[in-house]
């Protein structure tokens, strides 16, 4: 009996033939269980293609034996889908790299990696591909992003003088794929696939020029316009020069230890056959949900299709009734002796034995309108997009205050948490894949535009080895409430109430008019970032100068957190640097011109108390004033007292010993003592 051979381990053309059979079986399976038809119906509904078999909707059509039925589509599905899309993608995801270690070198690599991730999001339009995957997942249940290294792009880094062959620096390339373009094992119940088969399209003349030995075979292939395969291409009547390019990625496994990448056009045209050039299969999927027991995507829009169909028929019924009976008709009894010519126009004298009566055939039952409202409300409930999110709050809910509107809107965003989680996972996977590919393939120095301090851009040269220690990426999408206009207005109001002296009416008006709270958040965020940067340096034992305009109370509160680490407390060198920095803030809080402190919403500390008496335990009773309050406590609580003015550059008066200068040190015995 012949030994069975795994199809992915066979010769290239034989594997390609098996894969094409699997693609045909995959499509037949989707056709048999109705999933393919559901995707096409959802695609048509999203694009308003109702009552037609193409995407040329957006018009009133007529049906019936005499065209008496008006067909009026009212596309709620697209509106709801767009709200789901906007709620998911309105805030740009912030990718943050993480290193395996926490040493200074790794920290520097993290900074570079974060800049590179932002560079690909901003300059290489990665965000556009991510957003398209989100849209595909909402409409079709799944969306994909393929990431690969393109070795034929970028600047020339090397050229062979004899052959003229050029080596380019290369770069990362992104491609969006729909569920029609990704074939996988239908028997899998999760996303842990051993292999995936991906279909893209390329110009056959470009392929023939690149592979001249296969030119005749390539040019003889059927193009996109003639292939009758599953596709999103509905406008395929125009002749095309693009042909299908199939790529199989097989993960590294026991059967295929090094993985495999097979690129082919047909079962007898194999372009590339090599080991998997990436650490993982470079095809990443986003799906709001999956059909249990399968790996096929599931979208809330599937549930809305029958409701949308019912809404279209009800609107069509109302429209048909209005078109048929909008023109007034009159009833005249036989023998009424009324001349019909007198019924037209106005100011006519109508003679007859009976009065003509108008026929009111236009009325549509109230039940029809009530049921129509119920269907529209049910669509909002099933999709999680409420009336507040759509900009038409229900008067019956009595939502008038900004807080209540913001809460209801945030609930809609919370309902989309499944979609949001998949979105975050997709971004994280792509971030890791980008850094891994750069680590493996960015051998020549490259230049990227990095956003640095204060959002200023600068160019940096790097190689893959410069980010070798980065091993993961996390994503922060922020507070759901902050992604809504009502939520931002609420946050602005709270900031105005907490610190009215720090924010202006103009800043608040900007939030109201534009929905952007960046202007109000800039100063607090910058201050917080500054303190965090100071803490990072103080932990390393690097001295950082304090400034007279600092918020001394806030700085001391945040700096003392460092001393919660017992290792730092026992490190005399680092502890002394932190104590010295805190002492600078205390000195400034005592000696700064009161006018400066007033303008920065701070209060001046009273003069320091006399030196402690000899033998007094300063460690347990740090410098106290006449009321027994420590200097640090004075900074925390503030004081109404003031002393002589002192601005930077003026001679400083004699200052008593600082609270931390005479602190006794404690020697901790080692295990050998």
pLDDT digits (tens, 9 = 90+) for 58-96: 888 888 888 888 888 999 999 999 988 988 887 777 788
For residues 463-480, one letter each, b for 16 or more C-beta atoms within 10 angstroms of the residue's C-beta and e for the rest, the string is: ebebbbbbeebebebeeb
Q: Are residues 655 and 563 in the same domain?
A: yes
Instruction: Supply the DSSP symbol for 286.
Output: E
pLDDT > 90 in the chain, percent: 31
The predicted model gives 426-440 an average pLDDT of 92
For the cut 70, the answer to whether the pLDDT of residue 394 exceeds it is: no
pLDDT digit string (tens) for 537-592?
898 889 999 998 888 888 999 999 888 889 888 998 999 999 999 999 999 888 88
- Among residues 493, 492, 551, the alpha carbon closest in space to that of 518 is found at 492
The answer to the question of residue 622 being in a domain is yes
Q: Which helix (H) or strand (E) holds 135?
A: helix 126-140
Whether 490 and 540 share a structural domain: no
Comparing CA positions, the residue from 267, 196, 254 lying closest to residue 17 is 267
Total count of domains within the chain: 2
Whether 276 and 433 have beta carbons less than 8 Å apart is answered as: no
CA separation for the pair 645, 588 (Å, rounded): 11
pLDDT tens digits, 26-56: 989 988 999 988 998 999 899 888 887 555 5
Between CA 568 and CA 577, with CA 573 as vertex, the angle to 5 degrees is 85
Q: 499 and 622: one domain?
A: no
Q: 645 and 623 in one domain?
A: yes
Report yes or no on 64 lying in a domain: no
pLDDT, mean of residues 205-230: 87
Contact assessment for residue 444 and residue 155, using Cβ atoms and an 8 Å cutoff: no
Residue 654 is assigned to a structural domain of this protein: yes
With respect to residue 136, please indicate whether it lies within any of the assigned structural domains.
no
Q: Are 498 and 609 contained in the same domain?
A: no
Alpha-carbon distance 170 to 166, whole Å?
11
Question: Which tops the pLDDT comparison, 357 or 368?
Answer: 368
* Range of lowest pLDDT (155-159, 211-215, 410-414): 410-414
435-471: pLDDT as tens digits: 999 999 887 777 666 655 444 555 667 778 888 888 8
Question: Do the domain assignments include residue 652?
Answer: yes
Q: Radius of gyration of the chain from Cα atoms?
A: 36
Residue 231: Cβ-neighbour burial (10 angstroms; 0-12, 13-18, 19+): middle
- Please tell me which residue, 629 or 198, carries the higher pLDDT value: 198
What does the pLDDT read at residue 521?
59
Q: Give the residue, 340 or 426, on which the prediction is more confident.
A: 426
Quote the pLDDT of residue 636.
47
* 3-class secondary structure, 33: coil
User: What's the whole-number mean pLDDT along residues 502-512?
Assistant: 69
Which residues face 630 on adjacent strands?
A: 624
User: What's the mean pLDDT in 430-439?
Assistant: 92
The mean of the pLDDT values for the chain is: 78
For residue 262, what is the enclosing H or E element?
Answer: strand 260-266
d(CA 288, CA 300): 8
Q: Are residues 548 and 583 in the same domain?
A: yes
503 and 636 inside one domain: no
Q: Which residue, 260, 265, 266, 274, is CA-closest to 6?
A: 260
* Residues 611 and 492 placed together within one structural domain of the fold: no
Are 592 and 647 within 8 A, CB to CB?
Answer: yes
pLDDT at 191: 82
* 264 has a pLDDT exceeding 60: yes
As beta bridge partners, residue 197 has 183, 248
Half-sphere exposure of 284 (CA within 13 A, CB side): 25
- Are residues 508 and 616 located together in one domain of the fold? no
Same structural domain for residues 546 and 509? no
Last residue of one domain, picked from the residues 516, 538, 572: 516
pLDDT for res 532: 84
Report if residue 100 sits inside a domain.
no
384: left (phi over 0), alpha (psi -120 to 50) or beta: left
Q: Distances in Å between the alpha carbon of 72 and those of 65, 304, 318, 361?
A: 17, 18, 9, 20
Q: Is 512 within the bounds of a domain? A: yes
- Mean pLDDT on 589-612: 78
Q: What angle do CA 16, 20, 25 make, to 5 degrees?
A: 145
Helix (H) or strand (E) run with residue 569 in it = helix 566-569
Domain housing 512: 484-516
- Is residue 423 assigned to a domain? no
Q: Comparing 112-116, 121-125, 487-491, which segment has the lowest mean pLDDT?
A: 487-491
d(CA 44, CA 52): 9
pTM listed for this prediction: 0.69
Query: Among 337-346, 377-386, 656-665, which range has the highest average pLDDT?
Result: 377-386
Check residue 12 and give its pLDDT: 94
What single-letter DSSP state applies at residue 180?
G
Report the relative pairing of strands 283-286 and 195-203 from DSSP bridges.
unpaired
578 shares a domain with 493: no
Q: Which residues of 233-259 are buried (b: 16+ CB within 10 A; e: fewer)?
A: eeeeeeebebbbbbbbbbbbeeebeeb
Instruction: For residues 542 and 661, state if they share a domain.
Output: yes
Please tell me the predicted confidence (pLDDT) of residue 260: 96
Quote the pLDDT of residue 258.
95
């Amino acid at each position: 009996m012949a030994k069975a051979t795994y199809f992915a381990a066979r010769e290239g053309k034989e594997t390609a033939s098996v894969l094409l059979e699997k693609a045909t079986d995959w499509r037949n399976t989707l056709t048999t269980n109705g999933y393919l038809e559901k995707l096409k119906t959802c695609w048509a509904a999203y694009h308003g293609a109702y009552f037609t078999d193409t995407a040329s909707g957006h018009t009133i059509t007529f049906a019936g034996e005499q065209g008496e039925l008006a067909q009026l589509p009212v596309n709620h599905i697209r509106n709801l889908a767009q709200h789901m899309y906007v709620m998911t993608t309105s805030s740009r995801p912030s990718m943050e790299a993480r290193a395996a270690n926490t040493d200074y070198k790794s920290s520097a690599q993290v900074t570079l990696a974060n800049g590179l991730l932002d560079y690909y999001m901003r300059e290489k339009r990665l965000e556009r591909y991510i957003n398209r995957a989100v849209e595909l997942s909402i409409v079709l249940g799944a969306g994909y992003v393929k990431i690969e290294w393109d070795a034929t792009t970028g600047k020339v880094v090397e050229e062979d003088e004899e052959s003229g062959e050029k080596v380019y620096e290369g770069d990362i390339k992104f491609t969006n794929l729909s569920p029609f373009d990704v074939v996988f094992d239908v028997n899998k119940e999760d996303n842990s696939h051993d292999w995936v088969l991906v279909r893209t399209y390329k110009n056959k003349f470009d392929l023939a020029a690149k592979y001249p030995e296969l030119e005749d075979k390539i040019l003889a292939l059927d193009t996109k316009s003639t292939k009758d395969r599953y596709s999103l291409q509905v406008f395929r009547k125009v002749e095309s020069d693009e042909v299908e390019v199939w790529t199989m990625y097989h993960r590294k496994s026991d059967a295929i230890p090094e993985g495999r990448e097979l690129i082919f056009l047909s079962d007898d045209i194999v372009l590339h056959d090599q080991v998997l050039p990436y650490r993982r299969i470079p095809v990443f999927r986003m799906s709001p949900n999956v059909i249990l027991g399968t790996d096929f995507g599931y979208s809330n829009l599937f549930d809305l299709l029958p409701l949308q169909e019912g809404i279209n028929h009800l609107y069509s019924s109302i429209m048909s009734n209005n078109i048929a009976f909008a023109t007034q008709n009159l009833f005249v009894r036989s023998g009424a002796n009324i001349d019909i010519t007198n019924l037209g126009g106005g100011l006519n004298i109508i003679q007859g034995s009976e009065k003509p009566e108008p026929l009111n055939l236009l009325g549509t039952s109230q039940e029809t309108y009530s049921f129509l409202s119920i269907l529209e409300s049910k669509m909002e409930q099933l999709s999680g997009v409420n009336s507040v999110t759509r900009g038409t709050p229900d008067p019956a809910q009595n939502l008038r205050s900004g807080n209540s509107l913001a809460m209801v809107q945030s609930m809609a965003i919370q309902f989309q948490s499944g979609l949001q989680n998949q979105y975050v996972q997709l971004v994280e996977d792509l971030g890791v894949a980008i850094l891994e590919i750069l680590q493996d393939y960015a051998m020549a120095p490259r230049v990227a535009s990095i956003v640095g301090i204060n959002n200023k851009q600068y160019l940096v040269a790097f190689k893959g080895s410069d980010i070798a220690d980065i091993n993961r990426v996390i994503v922060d999408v922020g507070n759901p409430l902050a992604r809504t206009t009502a939520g931002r207005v609420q946050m602005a109001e709270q900031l105005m109430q907490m610190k009215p002296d720090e924010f202006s009416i103009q800043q608040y008006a900007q939030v109201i008019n534009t929905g952007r709270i960046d202007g109000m958040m800039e100063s607090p965020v910058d201050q917080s970032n500054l303190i965090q940067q100071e803490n990072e340096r103080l932990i390393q034992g690097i001295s950082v100068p304090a400034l007279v305009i600092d918020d001394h109370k806030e700085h001391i509160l945040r700096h003392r957190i460092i001393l919660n680490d017992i290792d730092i407390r026992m490190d005399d060198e680092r502890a002394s640097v932190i104590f010295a920095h805190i002492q600078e803030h205390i000195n400034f809080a005592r000696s700064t011109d009161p006018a400066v402190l007033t303008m920065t919403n701070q209060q001046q500390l009273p003069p320091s108390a006399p030196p402690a008496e000899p033998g007094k335990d300063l460690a347990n009773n740090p410098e106290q004033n006449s009321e027994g309050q420590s200097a640090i406590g004075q900074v925390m609580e503030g004081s109404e007292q003031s002393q002589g003015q002192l601005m930077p550059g003026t001679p400083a008066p004699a200052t008593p010993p600082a609270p931390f200068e005479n602190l006794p040190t404690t020697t901790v015995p080692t295990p050998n003592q």
